[in-house]
Amino acid sequence: MRPVATTPAPALALPVGWRSCLARRRIARVGFYGLVVGSLLPIVFPILWMFLSALKPLDELVTIPPSWLPRHPTLRHFRDLMALTNFPIYIWNSTLAACLTAGITVAVATLGAYSLTRFQYRGRQILATFTLLAYMFPPILLAIPLFVVITRLGMADSLLSLALAHISFALPFCLWLMWGYMKSVPMALEEAAMIDGASRMGAFAWVVIPMSLPGIIAIGVLSFLVSWNDYLYALILLTSEGKKTLSLGVSTFIGPMAVEWGLINAAGVVVTLPVIVFFGAVQQFLVQGFGAGAVKE
């Protein structure tokens, strides 16, 4: 019995219109990614240059024309930063002030937003509006009044006074953000918890807080960074060497006779790297928190 000869099926050819459409899509995708890379380049390049400069010896830092990559990488700048300067003290002071700012801001903003969304009282809408209005004032405008108040209270040159100053311009926006976020938390869940025997605070702790966690993380990160990056209020309120924060400490590396470029780049890496790692870990919560909090019913 002879085998039946089979002929391969002809390849399915796309119409000319489909091929041109796919080509346009590929070109648009390449153009989109090129636009994204071009937009990120001015942001990424200074950070990458700082990282590479922190590994260069001093002679390579001042070489003209500059070298892109370190020829003889070294960690000497990092060792000098930790051993010969007060940089560990600056890190501790900034961390303590930022944690105080974030903790108090999160607590007050969460409770305030819960009050604005769950209780009915006269002037509630006006209070929320004026809260956001307070955020519109630039921080420099409040510097002198805050300095006078803190000095008369005997709290000058302390990390607590610095944290309170940071709270004064971080809290309004965080409260507004949490107000918009808590509007999306259904009240029926709280009512069901209270019907099952939970108190008002129990329902708040076991129902509202877990459902508002992305917003709480968002305002916590925002208020932490407000304090971590501040220079103005630290310069005004702190005078002693043992109370200086990172922003003030790094500025001491710029002297009238010389600039310690190696220490400045190493300090920039130590300050920036934890923030980048932390943002990468919580970016999903930040997007959810800012997105939901920005929507107004």
Distance (Å, whole) CA 264 – CA 50:
9
| Residue 31: partners with Cβ closer than 8 Å, 6 or more residues away | none
Residue type, 105: T
Q: State the pLDDT at residue 293.
A: 44
Band the pLDDT of 211: cuts 50, 70, 90: confident
Q: State the pLDDT at residue 3.
A: 54
DSSP 140: G
Give whichever of 14-18, 20-24, 243-247, 255-259 has the largest mean pLDDT.
243-247
Q: State the pLDDT at residue 273.
A: 82
Q: State the pLDDT at residue 2.
A: 54
Task: Look at 282 and 143; give whichever has higher pLDDT.
Answer: 143
The pLDDT tens digits of the residues spanning 1-58 come to 555 555 555 544 555 555 667 777 788 788 888 888 888 888 888 888 888 888 888 8
Distance (Å, whole) CA 147 – CA 149:
6
Q: State the pLDDT at residue 288.
A: 58
**Residues 245, 90 contacting (CB under 8 angstroms):** yes
Q: Which residue has the tokens 């300067």?
A: 85
pLDDT tops 70 at residue 286: no
Helix (H, G, I), strand (E, B) or coil at 254: strand
Domains of the chain: 19-61 (no CATH), 77-293 (1.10.3720.10)
Signed CA dihedral, 171, 175, 176, 180: sign only: positive
Q: State the pLDDT at residue 132.
A: 72
Q: State the pLDDT at residue 13.
A: 53
Task: Look at 108 and 33; give whichever has higher pLDDT.
Answer: 108
Distance (Å, whole) CA 184 – CA 211:
9
With 0-12 / 13-18 / 19 or more C-beta atoms within 10 angstroms meaning exposed / middle / buried, residue 264 is buried
State percent of the chain over pLDDT 70.
88
**Residues 180, 294 contacting (CB under 8 angstroms):** yes
The pLDDT tens digits of the residues spanning 150-208 come to 888 888 888 998 998 899 888 888 888 888 788 877 888 888 888 888 788 888 888 88
pLDDT tops 80 at residue 124: no
Task: Look at 131 and 224; give whichever has higher pLDDT.
Answer: 224
pTM score, whole prediction = 0.77
**Residues 213, 285 contacting (CB under 8 angstroms):** yes
Q: State the pLDDT at residue 103.
A: 93
pLDDT tops 70 at residue 105: yes
Instruction: Identify each DSSP E strand in the chain by its residue range.
Output: none
The number of CA neighbours under 13 Å toward the Cβ of 4 is: 2
* Tokens read off for 273: 């790297």
